[in-house]
Structure formats: C-alpha cells, structure tokens
C-alpha cells in the first residue's frame, strides 16, 4: 500500500475541515469513517481509492487499491489534495484582515484553521452550481447522488462502493429525458448537458478562467453560458477557480446566516449584502465560507 505524506500549512485544523465535509449524509463523492476520508479519484485514466488521515501536521494519503503510480501522477495527486484543502491560501492574511470586522472576528476565533474546501474538478463545480440553483440543499444533494451513481465510475473496496464524478465526455452524450428520469427539471437537464458539451469541446476550460485577469472577466465568461447565473458563477469562482473575492450575494444560506448573526427580522436585502461585503471585500470567498459555518458552531 503506497503512502504519501503532505505537509500542512501552519494554520490548518483538520477537525474543522472534517466537520465541514461531514455536513450532509447524502454526500456521494467521499466517505468519512473514524476521522479518515475515503475518496475515489482519477488521475491520468488511473482510478485511485484514497484514504486520507492527519498525523502531526501531515496529511497521510494511502492508495488502497494497491497500485503504483508514476512520480508525475504522484505530483498530480498531491496537487489535487492541496487544492481540495486550499493549502495555497495564506490564512494569516485573511485573519489579520477579518479580525477588524465585527462579524468575522468571532467566527475566526471559533473556526480557526478551517480552510475553504475547494472542488478541484471544474465540471463537478459547475454541475453543483447548476444543480443547487433555486432548490433546497437536501434535494440538491439527492440530485447529485443520482447523477453520480448513474453516470460516474465506481470502485469497490471491502464491499463498499466509491464513486467518481461523471466526466463531460459521458454527460455530453446523454439525453435530457435520462436526467429528467432522475428528477432533474427539464431546464437543469438541458443546462447540464449543454455545459458538458461546451467544456468537452474545449470552448471553456478551467485553465482559460485561471488565466483571466480579474473576477469581472471570469464572471462575465461564466454567466454568458446558458444556465449559469450570478450565484452559480460566483460559486464556481470561489470553489473551483480560487477567486479570493467571489461573493454569491443571492445565496440563501449566506443570507440566513447573516440574518441570525445580525438579529435581523428578515433576510438582508441586496443593498445590505453589498454594504456588508465592503467590510471583507478582499477576502469575500473566505468570509462567505466562514459565515456559512456560523449556524453549525456549538453554542
């Protein structure tokens, strides 16, 4: 069994990250047992089943399906995991900045070491952005689970199944009816298949967005795609592209969390959200992520 050790950044709390990853029992792309994360991924057409644990400031990654990979693919695997846990972000800068804000300061104290859990797979991030629009989180996870189990690749280990998110190659070839049979609306089925075709044709790629100069250009490119509105665009910018100042202003979870934090009678208006964002604009993505976690902090 091959083992890889990945050194963690100085500011990192594995337990905080696990708590976020455990947030929904319908999650289908990884499993957590006894503080170990089990996940199947694909690197260069090689399927890997991973076990990830934490020990003395290192992530311990074990390849459970007893396969050897090249140094180049080992590097790609490490890059995937470091991106998943957003190891490149300098949290000391966010904390220095955020502690000047009355909303963020208590959250930083409670959630110290939590990293923004990213979605390295670009199509997975866009799929979730499309699926999650205008429905509750529980139903969104159910749709995602049906999509992944129907069209993703599967690995079996010790009588348990582990799934890899479907690729654009697969989703670009299915029909709208097939997704509607999984309880997708016709519109969402069309959007998902269309965006899979666009990415498959290389008309849109993650690298293309990473090479753009600012978030305005990235957002404009994304919202020009049918089915991707401002919320989905900012979600993808935040979770997959790594834009530090993305702000999904229309996110209901974000609005409800701010309503509770500020003791408001109703959810903040768009104008109030814009005004609040000025207090953390350089780090809006992390501010959003921490505010999302506010309802789960034990009192």
Distances (CA, A) of 11 to 68, 87, 93, 115: 31, 9, 11, 9
Can you tell me which residue has the tokens 């470091």?
82
The per-residue b/e assignment along 108-124, b for 16 or more CB within 10 angstroms, e otherwise, is beebebbbbebbbbbbb
Angle of CA points 64, 66, 72, to nearest 5°:
95
User: Is-catalytic flag, 169?
Assistant: no
**The one catalytic residue among 86, 121, 194, 251:** 251
**Contact in structure between 229 and 236 (CB atoms under 8 Å):** no
Can you tell me which residue has the tokens 């900012």?
234
Active site residues: 251
């Amino acid at each position: 069994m091959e083992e890889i050790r990945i050194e963690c950044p100085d500011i990192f709390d594995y337990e905080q990250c696990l708590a976020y990853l455990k947030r929904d029992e319908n999650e289908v792309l990884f499993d957590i047992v006894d503080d170990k994360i089990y996940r199947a991924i694909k690197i260069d057409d090689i399927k890997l089943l991973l076990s990830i644990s934490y020990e003395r400031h290192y992530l311990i990654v074990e390849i459970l399906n007893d396969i050897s990979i090249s140094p180049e693919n080992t590097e790609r695997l490490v890059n995937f995991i470091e991106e998943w846990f957003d190891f490149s972000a300098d949290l000391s800068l966010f904390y220095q900045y955020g502690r000047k804000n009355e909303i963020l300061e208590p959250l930083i104290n409670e959630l110290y070491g939590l990293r923004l859990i990213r979605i390295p797979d670009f199509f997975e991030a866009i799929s979730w952005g499309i699926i999650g629009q205008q429905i509750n989180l529980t139903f969104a996870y159910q749709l995602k689970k049906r999509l992944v189990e129907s069209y993703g690749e599967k690995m079996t280990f010790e009588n348990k199944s582990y799934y890899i998110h479907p690729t654009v190659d697969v989703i670009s070839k299915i029909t709208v009816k097939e997704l509607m049979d999984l309880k997708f609306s016709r519109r969402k089925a069309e959007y998902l298949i269309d965006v899979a075709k666009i990415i498959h044709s290389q008309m849109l790629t993650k690298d293309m967005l990473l090479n753009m100069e600012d978030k305005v250009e990235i957002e404009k490119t994304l919202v020009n795609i049918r089915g991707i509105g401002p919320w989905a665009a900012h979600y993808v910018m935040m979770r997959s592209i790594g834009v530090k100042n993305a702000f999904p202003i229309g996110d209901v979870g974000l609005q409800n969390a701010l309503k509770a934090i500020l003791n408001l009678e109703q959810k903040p208006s768009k104008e109030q959200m814009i005004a609040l964002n000025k207090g953390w604009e350089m780090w809006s993505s992390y501010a959003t992520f921490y505010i999302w976690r506010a309802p789960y902090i034990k009192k």
